[in-house]
């Protein structure tokens, strides 16, 4: 039979607006978190990371927030541009282990 694919959550924002992409993680032993951007036909590209001893980290136009109490991670992109259109994944690394576990992804669409 025909397989059913994942329906990625989609976030549509106007060019120039700020966007917030959310991610829930399940393992309380995770201590390192990373956001990746994946464009069509390419591999995931590193955006920003954060360790569990921090709750906020800023990069160029991006900010990652970590709330360990509710196991929630978010990525804020300021002044979105057409080139920001992509699928965004959060990834976590469990303390003492190697190998990132990836979330299902969010499709960000920038409207002109």
Residues that bind other proteins (CB under 8 A): 3-6, 31-32, 34, 36, 41-46, 49, 89, 91, 93, 95-105
Of residues 38 and 63, the one with the C-beta less far from other proteins: 38
Q: How far is the CB of 99 from other proteins (least distance, A)?
A: 5
**Minimum CB–partner distance for residue 14 and other proteins (Å):** 28
- DSSP for residue 102: E
Per-residue DSSP letters for 33-75?
A: EEEEEE-TTS--EEEEEEETT-SEEE-SSEEEEEETTTTEEEE
């Amino acid at each position: 039979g025909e397989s059913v694919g994942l329906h990625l959550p989609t976030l549509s924002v106007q060019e120039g607006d700020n966007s917030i992409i959310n991610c829930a993680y399940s393992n309380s032993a995770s201590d390192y978190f990373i956001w990746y951007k994946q464009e069509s036909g390419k591999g995931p590209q590193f955006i920003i990371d954060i360790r569990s001893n921090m709750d906020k980290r800023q990069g160029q136009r991006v900010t990652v927030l970590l709330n360990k109490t509710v196991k929630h991670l978010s990525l804020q992109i300021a002044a979105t541009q057409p080139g920001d259109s992509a699928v965004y994944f959060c990834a976590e690394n469990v303390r003492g282990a190697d190998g990132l576990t990836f979330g299902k992804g969010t499709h960000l669409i920038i409207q002109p």
